[in-house]
Amino acid sequence: MTTIGFIGLGNMGLPMATRLRSANHTMVVQDVRAGQASAFACANAVAAQTAKQVGDLADIVLMSLPTPASVLEVVEGAQGLMHGSRVKLVVDLSTTGPTTAVQAAASLAKQGIGFMDSPVSGGVTGAEKGTLAVMVSGREDEIARAKPYLEVIGRVFQVGDSPGQGQAMKVLNNMLSANAMAATAEVMALGVKNGLDPSVMLDVLNASSGRNTATTDKFPRSVLDRSFNFGFRAVLLNKDVRLCKEFAEANGVSFTIGRAVAEVWEKAAAELGDGDFTRIIEVIEKLAGVTVQARTAQNK
């Protein structure tokens, strides 16, 4: 029987791992917060103390980690996966950029361990519902081996066969998402400053050519009611935008709009830190002197 390892039980990792556990897969999990892994443990899931221990107990290991540095530590560190005695395939669900994927793949290959970069998109809600977009890049035989488990968390798209191509697709996706969120925040603030009802604005935008993921999902769910609980930190989205900027520069591709968006998110991350990325509206509101809020909420 195949044992699945899962490292990183954060906002995205926990619901993905939970879906695998609910599908009755035998699992071993690990998180830097030992209590998080212990709380997850049950009859078919045990908690490990280190990444190496996961690699000693699991055949396939999935990772969902916040930064390139954390991925490389889990793979290459003194207690990293590359030192595991059983693991044969590592699947990275994180967003770390192509360079990190290439380095991790090379380090694991030295130990005869396969690697697939398989970043995901769809947010916490998608992770909970199993509707994530999973952007897979790797060898055909390894994709075939991992696909049954990846299909538990979402829809699998094979975007390439070389390390880094999945990551390339993900940072491009997140660049567009970050662009839409920043631009929508500016548009909404400008409209409210001129007396427009933000709820009506969204209705019009969503029936028109300005429709995007910020107008259809993020603003209705997390901004107009001022809950700011979309489940993704501003510093992490800024990291993703920076990775895309570095990717463009490494390939000599024009990034004029991207650089402007990167400046906006760098400023937002400096102000918001670990706050939800939808709070970027607050950064824009300060400059505009308005509050973008549903009028029904204002009147409560």
Name the CA radius of gyration of the chain, rounded.
20
Question: How is residue 193 written in tokens?
Answer: 């400053």
Q: Give the number of other Cβ atoms within 10 Å of residue 42's Cβ.
A: 10
169 vs 183: CA distance, rounded Å = 21
Closest CA to 175 of 247, 124, 114: 247
Do 80 and 111 contact (CB within 8 A), yes or no?
no
Q: What is the DSSP string of 46-94?
A: EE-SSHHHHHHH-SEEEE--SSHHHHHHHHHSTTSGGG-SS--EEEE-S
Closest CA to 32 of 49, 18, 47, 16: 49
Q: Which residues are catalytic?
A: 170
15 vs 65: CA distance, rounded Å = 13
